[in-house]
Amino acid sequence: MRYRLEYALFRVVAAVMSILPIEAASAGSGALWRLVAPLSKRHRRALGNLKAAYPDLTDAERRALASEMWDTMGRIFAESLRLEEIASSGRVVLDNPEEARAILKDQDGFIICAAHQGNWEVAVIGLPVLGYQAAGIYQRLKNPYVDAAARRLRAPLYAAGLLPKGQQTARAALRHVKNGGVISIMADLRENRGVKVPFFGREAASTPFPAMLAVTLGKKLLLGEVIREPGVRFRIRVEEVDVSRTSDREADIVATTANLQRRIEHHVRARPGQWMWGHRRWG
């Protein structure tokens, strides 16, 4: 019953957001989250994470960053209901297409990662410009009705398929990339069974899966940075992440994971108000 009530509320909110112009829906949702989210335990967690990451900032400066973050999260919620509109309206621009093409020249299959920053839902929109279609891996939501709705909204962006995180998906992703496909992975969440590498000066359990694919298959590992601009517009920058290739496979996976997390940290530091500080990244 609780799941059905949550889903009913989701449908009502989605209906309202679909009526408004997309800029108004995004701004309105951002303002609402700025107002309501500071009442949650996630806000306290966000402030704690910001204090650990930026000990030299004042409390007021950290509260300002948290407010900007909640505005970003609220905007993403509204924009996630309008992904096809965003994709078809030229609101997402690949910032460095020539550099990206040079990285991918003669590349047969690769792994591309993104972080929960800017609006991660649009991260793969730049790939068709380069002539690629990605398969995606996503984390299931607890509510199965909302999860199915979210999957339907995301699916049009992943022409090669959208797969829930799990053991079978891991094997499918391995085959997909081995056969020349592209897989998209969110790489900045806590992974309890992952490897611990530095992130903002603290050991953070991180997913080794992107590094494992790149090391095992001899493929390139890329990171797409999503930069939010005013007016529901986004820039995406693609860069290559160094993949360690020695005779020690396990050490290579750890080193490559550390390289990936270091680059994600670099992007977060550039725009800290656009990253999701409220999740349990450090346990």
pLDDT at 183 (0 to 100): 97
Instruction: Say which residue the tokens 């960053």 belong to.
Output: 65
**Whether 167 contacts 28, CB under 8 Å:** no
- 232 vs 23: CA distance, rounded Å: 6
Percent of the chain with pLDDT over 90: 92
CA distance 29 to 13: 10
Q: Is the pLDDT of residue 78 over 80?
A: yes
pLDDT in tens, 215-274: 999 999 999 999 999 999 999 999 999 999 999 999 999 999 999 999 999 999 999 999
For residue 26, tell me if it sits in a domain: yes
- Bridge-based pairing state of the strands 182-186 and 110-114: parallel
The pLDDT value given to residue 75: 97
Q: Per the structure, how many domains does the chain have? A: 1
Q: Which residue type occupies 43?
A: H
* Model confidence at 54: pLDDT above 90: yes
Q: Identity (one letter) of the amino acid at 265?
A: E
Identify which of 53, 129, 100, 122 has the alpha carbon closest to the alpha carbon of residue 222. 100
Tell me the pLDDT tens digit for each residue of 149-159: 999 999 999 99
pLDDT at 106: 84
| Mean of all residue pLDDT scores within the chain | 95
Residue 167 is predicted with a pLDDT of 84
283 in a domain, yes or no? no
Segment 109-131 mean pLDDT: 94
DSSP letter assigned to residue 158? -
Q: Do residues 253 and 208 touch, judged by C-beta distance below 8 A?
A: yes
For residue 283, what pLDDT is reported?
77
Residue 162 inside a domain? The answer is yes
Residue-number span of the structural domain to which 27 is assigned? 2-274
Residue 116 in any domain: the answer is yes
Report which of 172, 119, 171, 169 is spatially closest to residue 140, judged by C-alpha positions. Answer: 169
Nearest Cα neighbor of 174 from 229, 222, 206, 137 is 137
Nearest Cα residue to 159 out of 128, 130, 121, 190? 128
- pLDDT at residue 139, rounded to an integer: 86
Burial class (CB in 10 A: 0-12, 13-18, 19+), 119: buried
- Residue 85 amino acid letter: E
Task: Assess if residue 282 is contained within a domain.
Answer: no
In a domain, 280, yes or no: no
Residue 185 DSSP SS3 = strand
Cα separation, 7 vs 35, whole angstroms: 22
Extended beta strands in the chain, E state: 92-94, 110-114, 134-138, 162-164, 182-186, 190-199, 202-206, 220-229, 233-241
Question: What is the structure's pLDDT at 137?
Answer: 93
The answer to whether residue 148 is domain-embedded is yes
Task: Read off the pTM.
Answer: 0.95
Q: For the segment 161-185, what is each residue's pLDDT rounded down to a tens digit? A: 999 988 889 999 999 999 999 999 9
Res. 107 pLDDT band, cuts 50 70 90? confident
Is position 279 within any domain? no
